[in-house]
Structure 1
């Protein structure tokens, strides 16, 4: 039973999300203050809670498609999963009540917890809205880390958050376009199924360009020649990826283009280069 409760939180993903918040702290402050370390636990717990509530809401579908998952396999009961998610959400939010944690962090923890619940219950099945939720939640990890240092720290992380949001949204939509046939067979309804692969690719190109433009604006304290040279490399890879996606006529062509894999590389480099620039500054 304990194994089931561990598996359902997807520990690897939750730990990765927790550690990612430190990037936001570094970009905001140039260092990792000891008082910021509890933020790792907050993101871990809220992410874990989101994974649990997601499995709770998908339990009937998983009973058919993913019977090995904790709830359909019987390792975790539905009621147990619901209680578990509430405890995890509450624990994550409670840490934000510590006196040395900025109230902005508490606001993010509450809002993101609500979005995770709404996503699992409703938004996941809505074309584009579900993609926006996933992209925001990924980007908000940096905003949360920046919020530790107050409004100024939050603003320092808007650039990496914007790059993450637009690149992630582009990737999410391209992946939906790749999986269109399987999603149709499974009864899902995604944006590419409504507007088609070519229009989806062009939309992703526009979204990525928006992120690239924001990345080049003088909005951060370490904006300068070094940052611009580094971020230009990541931007070029992101643009190359979405341009390949925009040229795809159908799902097969999109898969063959490897656009989503290249885009993921560009996103990773953008994050790494932002971190390097912040540390050099």
Structure 2
């Protein structure tokens, strides 16, 4: 069981479930009466959405590990699962089964909200994850953008399925206001995950070179890639500060939370990446950015107090 949980990256999946749950039940449900907007997802519908996204994401992790066996023997020899704890054949069956569950759940969900065409989204995401693992991740930058975009979309999809199906003339402004709010979180998730993907490329440069991945550190060198990541790390930091000064400067609780749990660790991670030299340095920065994402997700709990005051 433990190798299977590691294979599907259970911690990442729990963070995904937490993010989707808080968007639905900490942001949308408590505020819809006050702001006069509607939601399409019942509790069962939301459960189907979570099952679909988590299953497809887990399948994506599995196919990625199957394709990365040789690289992982170099990058993390003590953490190789495929061929050591779980056979490649069984892992392939798991990949197929999880994608089948995800797509079927997406089919029932799309029909339940009277948007059968939305079903295509789940097929598209499943296909892109397979193409990423087998081909696209070897193309410079493209693989990084794809993974960051899919993580971002895993948040945005809650708004797509919960808000868009019930947009009307009377509630359109409120529906799109909250959809835009979710988009802000999705954009933040994209930027942080893009940084983490670049950092992981630097961390895994030796194994990636072995399997023919054309990552930025392989093409331009580790030092150049590190400088690029440092520069890019300042973009979300600046955007968060601007967002804070424009929207939350009068909200003391939110201001303190963002300064302590978002901005401070982001500044710290930028400093650490600037001085990074060893593999452990990059791994440490990656862990800090994942912690920032967790605190970003938990900030959804604050909106009831911000928007109702």
Pair 1:230-2:276 in alignment: no
Pair 1:18-2:17 in alignment: yes
Q: Render the CA deviation track for 1:40-89: whole Å, top value 9, x for unaligned.
A: 211221112212322443456678986986652485453x5445423322
Is the Cα contact below 8 Å between 1:18 and 1:40 reproduced in 2? yes
Is the Cα contact below 8 Å between 2:16 and 2:154 reproduced in 1? yes
Q: Following TM superposition, by how much is the alpha carbon of 1:122 offset from its aligned partner in structure 2, in angstroms?
A: 0.8
Give, in whole Å, the separation in 2 of the partners of 1:201 and 1:87.
39
Q: Structure 1 residues 105 and 198, CA, compared in 2 at 3 Å: closer, same or farther?
A: farther
> Structure 2 stretches of 5 or more lacking a match?
31-40, 165-175
Partner of 1:53: 63
Count the aligned residue pairs: 274
Q: Structure 1 residues 261 and 83, CA, compared in 2 at 3 Å: closer, same or farther?
A: closer
Is the Cα contact below 8 Å between 1:162 and 1:211 reproduced in 2? no
Q: Structure 1 residues 212 and 147, CA, compared in 2 at 3 Å: closer, same or farther?
A: farther
Give, in whole Å, the separation in 1 of the partners of 2:61 and 2:289.
25
Give, in whole Å, the separation in 2 of the partners of 1:197 and 1:130.
18
Q: Which of 101, 110, 126 is the aligned partner of 2:139?
A: 126
Is the Cα contact below 8 Å between 2:72 and 2:207 reproduced in 1? no
Q: Structure 1 residues 117 and 232, CA, compared in 2 at 3 Å: closer, same or farther?
A: same
If asked which structure has higher relative contact order (CA below 8 Å, sep 6+), I would say 2
Q: Structure 1 residues 67 and 202, CA, compared in 2 at 3 Å: closer, same or farther?
A: closer
Q: Following TM superposition, by how much is the alpha carbon of 1:13 offset from its aligned partner in structure 2, in angstroms?
A: 4.3
Partner of 2:285: 259
TM-score by length of 1: 0.75
> Structure 1 stretches of 5 or more lacking a match?
none
Q: Following TM superposition, by how much is the alpha carbon of 1:170 offset from its aligned partner in structure 2, in angstroms?
A: 1.4
Is the Cα contact below 8 Å between 1:237 and 1:262 reproduced in 2? yes
Give, in whole Å, the separation in 1 of the partners of 2:135 and 2:264.
36
Q: Following TM superposition, by how much is the alpha carbon of 1:241 offset from its aligned partner in structure 2, in angstroms?
A: 1.4
TM-score by length of 2: 0.70
Q: Structure 1 residues 125 and 253, CA, compared in 2 at 3 Å: closer, same or farther?
A: closer
Is the Cα contact below 8 Å between 2:53 and 2:102 reproduced in 1? yes
Q: Which of 218, 230, 235 is the aligned partner of 1:205?
A: 230
Give, in whole Å, the separation in 1 of the partners of 2:2 and 2:278.
38
Is the Cα contact below 8 Å between 1:125 and 1:189 reproduced in 2? yes
Partner of 1:172: 197
Q: Following TM superposition, by how much is the alpha carbon of 1:245 offset from its aligned partner in structure 2, in angstroms?
A: 1.4
Partner of 1:95: 105
Give, in whole Å, the separation in 2 of the partners of 1:105 and 1:204.
35
Pair 1:160-2:185 in alignment: yes
Partner of 2:36: none
